[in-house]
Structure 1
Amino acid sequence: MKLALALGTALALPLVIALPSQAENPAQVQQLLTTNLCAGCDLSGADLTQAHLIGADLSGANLSGANLTEANLEGADLSGANLEGANLSQAFLTNALLNNAVLDDANLTEARIYFAEVAGSSWLNANLTGTEIVGTPISIGGD
């Protein structure tokens, strides 16, 4: 009996370790979706696909690895937010505040970035393939 339990535990342990984990705080995800206010929240790894976050306060939030595919972030405050490795493909970022935000390794494929504020933000290795950038001072490539 003990041998069977030990064997079962040994076989199941790699499966538990291999399971993906989400770091986001479910209560904070719900808070964001309900109130549009989540400054400083931990939303890392959160699935916010097609979320309507118009004018949301996400300043200082941790959105690393979050899925914001097709999210509407028009007028959202993402100042100082960590968006490292986030998926913002086809996201709408008109008038968004991205000052001092980290977008390193973020996927912004086919996103629309119009008249966004980006002073002090970091875009190392961000994927901007097919992204429409209008009235936003983002430099691409070179020194």
Structure 2
Amino acid sequence: MVQGITQWLWQCVTSPVALPVVTAFSLLMVPVPAAQALDEGDLQRLIETNECPGCDLQAADLRRLDLSGANLEGANLKKANFFYAVLDGANLSGADLSSTNLSYVSALTLISDLTNSSGQPIEIPAKFIGADLTGALLNYGDFSGADMTEANFFEAFIDKTQFVGSQLQRTNFASTFVHDIDLRGANLCGSTYWGGNDYRRSCDVPVTDLNE
């Protein structure tokens, strides 16, 4: 269903009224909870402890929750609703975020109360390493500084979202709708870009040394 919706959004974007329509649509697109999939115990665990790696939170309603520093590594978050949620410093590496609503999400670097050997505060970036974001909505979000290495954005819809200084190496942007995003300082080395070609900006090795 989401793939069909994504195709519709692609068609709409050529219209002068496309952006208002698409934005309004994304705000209204709230996943219907799937009682047979969501583990209520896992949801309660997340809310109480901010720790739920590998949990089953499919179609969970997580709107406007402050999940700063949460551990959701490898969790099933398919069709979850993170509208306006705070994911600063959260770990969603390896999570299934397919068809998830990440509109207006904040996923910035968390400044810890702990300090390093130099006495400086420890910075904890939000992590989406290897996360599956197939068909996800990422409108008006801020993922600046996030580590999204090898994340899969296949057929995702991304509009007016910031990835300033983000780690996007070897990410998959094939068939992704992208409009008005900020990639200043982002590392896109080896990512599969919109045209289906490997993107080689900010690579650590010369272009001639990369595999074709």
TM over 0.5: yes
Counterpart AA for 1:63 = L
In the alignment, structure 2 segments of 5+ residues that lack a partner are 1-31, 109-124, 169-187, 198-212
Moved beyond 6 Å, runs of 4+: none
Q: Aligned partners of 2:38, 2:85: CA distance in 1, in Å?
A: 17
1:70-123 CA-to-partner distances (Å, cap 9, x unmatched) read 010000000100000000000011121111110110101111111011111111
Letter in 2 for 1:21: A
Q: Which residue of 2 aligns with 1:97?
A: 127
Which of 95, 102, 105 is equivalent to 1:81?
95
Partner of 1:132: 162
| Secondary structure, counterpart of 2:137 in structure 1 | coil
- The answer for the alignment partner of 1:12 in structure 2 is none
Q: Using the alignment, how far apart are the partners of 1:129 and 1:70 within structure 2?
A: 15
RMSD over aligned Cα atoms: 1.5
Structure 2 CA distance for aligned equivalents of residues 73 and 129 of structure 1: 19
Seq. identity, %: 38
CA deviation map 1:106-143 (0-9, x unaligned): 10111111101111111111111111121114455122
Q: Whole-Å Cα distance in 2 between the matches of residues 128 and 137 of structure 1?
A: 17
Tell me how far apart the structure 1 counterparts of residues 140 and 127 of structure 2 sit (CA, whole Å): 19
Cα displacement string for residues 6-43 of structure 1 (whole angstroms, at most 9, x for unaligned residues): xxxxxxxxxxxxx9633211111010011000000000
TM-score by length of 1: 0.83
Q: Is 1:122 the counterpart of 2:138 in the alignment?
A: no
* Residue among 29, 34, 40 paired with 1:21: 34
Q: TM-score w.r.t. structure 2 length? A: 0.56
Structure 1 runs not aligned, ≥5 long: 1-18
For the pair shown, the structure with the greater C-alpha radius of gyration is: 1
Give the distance between the partners of 1:20 and 1:32, measured in 2 at CA. Answer: 17
In the comparison of the two structures, how many residue pairs are matched?
125
